[in-house]
Amino acid sequence: MHLHSVPARAGGPPCETAAARPDPRLRPYVIGYSTFHAAGSGPLPHRLLPLNVTCAIVDLDGAARIVTGPRRAHAVLEETGWRHGITIGLTPLGTATLLGVPARDLVDGTAGLDEVLRVDLVDRLASVSDPASRFAVLDRLLAARLPDGPPADGPVWQAWRMLQRPAPGSPSPDPGPHGGDPDATAGGRARVGDVAARLGVRRRWLAAAFRREVGLSPGTVARIARFQRAVHGLTRGLDLARIAAECGYADQAHFQREVRALSGLTPARLRAFVQYREPARP
């Protein structure tokens, strides 16, 4: 449900993709894996979308191996070299544990993959050809980097997970033309204050802890999570009014404004880009 990027120009051939959840031992740290294979050659401009997770892009054909951090706004990269490889989505806890870098240090930025993940992923992944085998290789390599004992599960990580979860609920208030409601979670599930109360912490403490550990405020995390759920609805071809309602936007106008503010595109235009993908062939 987390979409890292889409082509920045229309008219290109579809990109073959396949996705999978990681081994259960990795799930506090890894959101999932996705293979991608774009036709053609040469640089391909991409529009990076707002995202709550860190993405490690393992380019199997060239040297475009980077880590992109959580992003608050879209960005257009005119020359991106990755065309064939795997993306690994990491939670803030996974970013700190598996990459050794606090998530806050990567917000709105990039780093070289080899600088933070000193494992030769390319040779290991290139030795097998089908997506399932590559996902199994990643499971083994990343699980070997896990610390002994159970994962840290303090209120910050619990709250972060709660803010990602889709759930039915009442729409959040219309925030007006300048941005999202800083206290509303995505999908109408709860407000940040309610999440803090459920975890037995003060809202101000949670906000400060998010800035320190995640690099984003809880309200921003919630806003991006709702946007990503809306993008997922676009990939499924759902009606725009249905997406607006199911994702907890006040109305379709609010949905239109938020998608344009976060992606730089109208929902209809963004739909045209997100539906360029097709399942990978076995």
Question: Of 115-119, 124-128, 201-205, 220-224, which range is least confident?
Answer: 115-119
CA distance 115 to 104: 17
- Asked whether the predicted pLDDT for residue 77 surpasses 90, the reply is no
Average pLDDT for 184-200: 70
Hey, what are 98's tokens?
């598996």
User: The whole model's pTM is what?
Assistant: 0.86
269 contacts: CB under 8 Å, gap ≥ 6: none
- Asked whether the predicted pLDDT for residue 262 surpasses 60, the reply is yes
Of all helices (H) and strands (E), which one includes residue 91? none
CA distance 196 to 121: 39
Domains along the chain with CATH numbers = 5-151 (no CATH), 155-274 (1.10.10.60)
- Pick from 9, 52, 55, 51: nearest CA to 34: 55
Average pLDDT, the chain: 85
pLDDT digits (tens, 9 = 90+) for 105-115: 999 999 998 88
pLDDT of residue 229: 93
- Identify how many contiguous H helices and E strands the chain contains and give both numbers: 11, 10
pLDDT of residue 182: 39
pLDDT of residue 33: 96
Q: What is the DSSP letter of 96?
A: I
pLDDT digits (tens, 9 = 90+) for 163-181: 987 643 433 333 333 333 3
